[in-house]
Structure 1
Amino acid sequence: MLDLHRYRALTFDCYGTLIDWERGILAFVEPWLAARGAPHEPERILATFSEVETVRQQEDPAAPYPVILERCFHDICARLGVPSDSASARAFGASVGDWPPFPDTPAAMAMFHGRFVTGIVSNVDDASLARSIAAIGTAPDFTVTAQQIRSYKPARPHFDRMLEVLAGRGIGRHEVLHVAQSLFHDIAPCRALGIACCWVNRHAHRGGQGATPEAHAVPDHSVTSLAELVALARIQTD
């Protein structure tokens, strides 16, 4: 049983957890491919994205996320046998702020705000994240981004910085619960670092890996939505 009384801080992955990045990716790539006579199944597009994104992040961890996405766009097109162009790649790189929140995200973040110290720990740039936070409607108490630390999860610098920020607020490692959808990017490094983690299994009702690389990490806790976590928090804190 997840006992939220144990924690003073809730930290969140953003894309895949708070923001429906798969819907955002497909909203750009699917019609672009279809307009060029090369439609592909959504799962094929997302699986290809998951493969190329990790490679691009690991080979150049100092690159801003929009640049990573530009490179990914060219890679996806090459793998799917469609010529790409620089203008479309740049537009895809700039599309992060248009990716929509999951329906349960705004209410969840509003509910958690003030009850816990909240943070977002994300593999994007500050400007893109700011647009996503505006769409969510409630700002966290702090953010950690790839731009700030010139590194991409699952490497540990995000989590080291997160713990450093929380320590400055008098919150220890054992008082933090990290909430994330990606076993690969978040749950595995949290388990390695001794940070309690809750897996938001957004694919529970449809299966597949989507845009996230496969991993076999075992979370401390799991839910199928943020709404489920909110319901549990209300029971325990009201």
Structure 2
Amino acid sequence: MLEFSKYKLLTFDCYGTLIDWDTSISNIVQPWLVEMRSQVPPDLVVSTFALMQAKHQQMRPTLLYPEVLRRSWRDIEEQFGWDENLARADEFARSVPSWRPFADTIESLQYLSRHFALGILSNVDNASLSGTLRALEVPFLFTVTAEDVASYKPGEPHFDVAFQEAARHGIDKSEILHTAQSKHHDIAPGNRLGLTTIWVNRRHGKKGTGATLAATANPSLTVNSLAELVDLHRSAQGASQPVSLSQ
């Protein structure tokens, strides 16, 4: 069990951890699959997206995220032999603000914000993240985007800037808990940098890794949801009856 009282800042990956991008992307592409009379299941589209996204992020770290999405959708069309559809590519590129939080995200963040400063390290652009922040309903001490650092995780520039931002507020790296669903993008680089990490295994009980890539990493703590993290913190604070938030 982590000694939560040692930490002042809780940083999050956003998409996949706070935002249910697997379901959100599936909901976007499902009507398109029906229109195309395609037998490709949405979860295969999502896992293919993970590969295409990673390719473009590695090839062009300065490419803004909407363009990563646009090019990834074109690659998906080619992969499955679908006709090119520029309107769908454009809609996909603009879709991030419509991706919805997990059911436990907002209530969990509201609780955690009473005990920690909060930050976000995200692989999107500033405009896309701003739409998401309005839906999350809690203040963040700082955010770091791929646009800010001209790099995509699992590269380390996000973390370097986060350490600098934390230091400006008197918070040492040893007082940061980095919390994420993706071992590839977050937990593995966190291990390399000596961060205390919490793996939120959002896909527990499901096959595959969804919109992220598989990786080997060693989190300091594993939970299946933010609600579980809240319950652990409440228990550590001495609450006699931890209350589970909606899953």
**8 Å Cα contact 2:20-2:100 kept in structure 1:** yes
- 1:67: which partner in 2? 67
* Separation in 2, partners of 1:51, 1:214: 10
- 1:225: which partner in 2? 225
Number of aligned residue pairs: give it: 238
How far has the Cα of 1:5 moved from its partner? 1.1
**8 Å Cα contact 2:125-2:146 kept in structure 1:** yes
* Separation in 2, partners of 1:15, 1:84: 27
- 2:93: which partner in 1? 93
Does residue 128 (structure 1) correspond to residue 128 (structure 2)? The answer is yes
Amino acid at match of 1:44: L
Amino acid at match of 1:106: I
State the Cα RMSD in Å. Answer: 1.1
How far has the Cα of 1:20 moved from its partner? 0.3
* Separation in 2, partners of 1:68, 1:36: 23
Moved beyond 3 Å, runs of 4+:
none
- 1:34: which partner in 2? 34
- 2:190: which partner in 1? 190
**8 Å Cα contact 1:8-1:171 kept in structure 2:** yes
How far has the Cα of 1:105 moved from its partner? 0.2
**8 Å Cα contact 2:26-2:43 kept in structure 1:** no
How far has the Cα of 1:233 moved from its partner? 1.6
Q: State the identity as a percent.
A: 43
- 1:168: which partner in 2? 168
How far has the Cα of 1:50 moved from its partner? 0.9
Unaligned residue ranges in structure 2 (runs of 5+): 240-247
Amino acid at match of 1:12: F
**8 Å Cα contact 2:119-2:143 kept in structure 1:** yes
Deviation string 1:36-70 (CA, Å, 9 cap, x unpaired) is: 11131123112101111000111111111111000
How far has the Cα of 1:28 moved from its partner? 1.2
* Separation in 2, partners of 1:135, 1:229: 21
**8 Å Cα contact 1:181-1:200 kept in structure 2:** yes
Amino acid at match of 2:97: G
Does residue 79 (structure 1) correspond to residue 79 (structure 2)? The answer is yes
Unaligned residue ranges in structure 1 (runs of 5+): none
**8 Å Cα contact 2:29-2:42 kept in structure 1:** no
* Separation in 1, partners of 2:139, 2:75: 33
How far has the Cα of 1:83 moved from its partner? 1.3
SS in 1 for 2:199: strand
* Separation in 2, partners of 1:77, 1:139: 38
**8 Å Cα contact 2:121-2:158 kept in structure 1:** yes
Deviation string 1:158-178 (CA, Å, 9 cap, x unpaired) is: 000011100111111111000
- 2:56: which partner in 1? 56
Amino acid at match of 2:37: G
**8 Å Cα contact 1:30-1:40 kept in structure 2:** no
**8 Å Cα contact 2:96-2:128 kept in structure 1:** yes
**8 Å Cα contact 1:30-1:39 kept in structure 2:** no
How far has the Cα of 1:222 moved from its partner? 0.6
* Separation in 2, partners of 1:119, 1:226: 15
How far has the Cα of 1:139 moved from its partner? 2.6
Deviates more, 1:143-152 or 1:22-31: 22-31
* Separation in 1, partners of 2:206, 2:87: 34
* Separation in 2, partners of 1:145, 1:89: 22
